[in-house]
Amino acid sequence: MKRVFAVLGDPIEHSLSPLMHNAAFKALGMDCTYHAFQVNKENLKDAIKGANALGFGGLNLTVPLKEEALKIVEPDSLAAAIGAVNTVDFKEGIRGYNTDGIGAEKALIDAGVKIGGAKVVIIGAGGAARGICFQLARCGADVTIANRTPEKAIQLADDAAVIGNVKGCGLEQLDDLIASADILINCTTLGMYPHVEDSIVTANQIHEDLVVFDIVYNPLKTKLLMEAEKAGAKTVSGVMMLVYQGAEAFRIWTGVEPPVEIMKKAVIGALIT
């Protein structure tokens, strides 16, 4: 019988996860299919329990469901510490994992970026920011979370302080933070299709020694990445984070090594057409 997997989110029409995972299943000859479903926070518990009852193989979760899911699933120690879940597996109950941080780490390494000892500024304090903050702090980066609501950034920094050196603040300090940073990561949805002209910062705030990583992957080249290129900075696309976090979820669900290059090709092919 065909095994069903899905991504849940609100909104969800922008997701390329179905293309990516279905390409992987096809390449490996696996009798599986992956779909996208729009689910709001209020219905998340019913959706997860329903997927389990229907025999789904697993789920991914995206904005704004990652933190809400923590109340519903049995998280592993990393997801519990992070406070957000983006992957759900049903093999032994309803287990929750967070692969966002691993995806971000591998995307940076893939781009030749050194993480250990780097000064990292993360903009945003939502589910993805939590995963990335914990992972990069664990890798030895000096992380600052800057968020529109300072209290949320400070709370995340306090939560992650057990892992490494993490601070939180409001956006009013952003110019000074960027000036001394090695890596800037946008963990907000600003610039996501269809709002493609939005950018969290502009070229005049960016220096040429900065690495600018935008986890938004649609469009392929966001306004933020264009501004970074104008400033002569190195850029990292959110596509590779999507691919690597998806590959880690694939391993969790199936125990099979994912075809990363095929997954990457499927995503990029959809974005440039």
pLDDT in tens, 166-183: 999 999 999 999 999 999
> Using 50, 70 and 90 to split pLDDT, how confident is the model at 273?
low
Q: Tell me the CA distances in angstroms from 95 to 17, 143, 180, one per residue in order.
A: 20, 29, 40
Strand ranges across the sheet with 142-147: 166-170, 142-147, 119-123, 183-186, 211-214, 234-236
> Which whole number is the average pLDDT over 191-220?
94
Residue 203 has pLDDT above 90, yes or no: yes
3-class secondary structure, 58: strand
Catalytic-labelled residue, pool 26, 41, 45, 66: 66
**What's the gap between Cα 100 and its chain centre?**
4
Residue 14 has pLDDT above 90, yes or no: no
pLDDT in tens, 40-98: 999 999 999 999 999 999 999 998 999 999 999 999 999 999 999 999 999 999 999 99
Dist CA 149 CA 157 (whole Å):
13
Residue 193 has pLDDT above 90, yes or no: no
pLDDT at residue 46 in the model: 98
Q: Report the b/e string of 42-70 with b at 16+ CB within 10 A.
A: eebeebbeebbeeebbbbbbbbbbbbbbb
Side-chain half-sphere CA neighbours of 69 within 13 A:
34
Is 66 annotated in the active site?
yes
Q: Are 115 and 109 in contact (CB under 8 A)?
A: yes
Dist CA 163 CA 143 (whole Å):
11
pLDDT in tens, 119-151: 999 999 998 999 999 999 999 999 999 999 999
- The structure tokens listed for 83 are 């406070």
Dist CA 27 CA 198 (whole Å):
36
pLDDT at residue 243 in the model: 97
Q: Are 82 and 93 in contact (CB under 8 A)?
A: no
Mean of the per-residue pLDDT values of the chain: 96
Instruction: Tell me the domains of the chain and their CATH numbers.
Output: 3-98+240-271 (3.40.50.10860), 101-236 (3.40.50.720)
**% of residues, the chain, pLDDT over 70:** 100
Residue 104 has pLDDT above 80, yes or no: yes
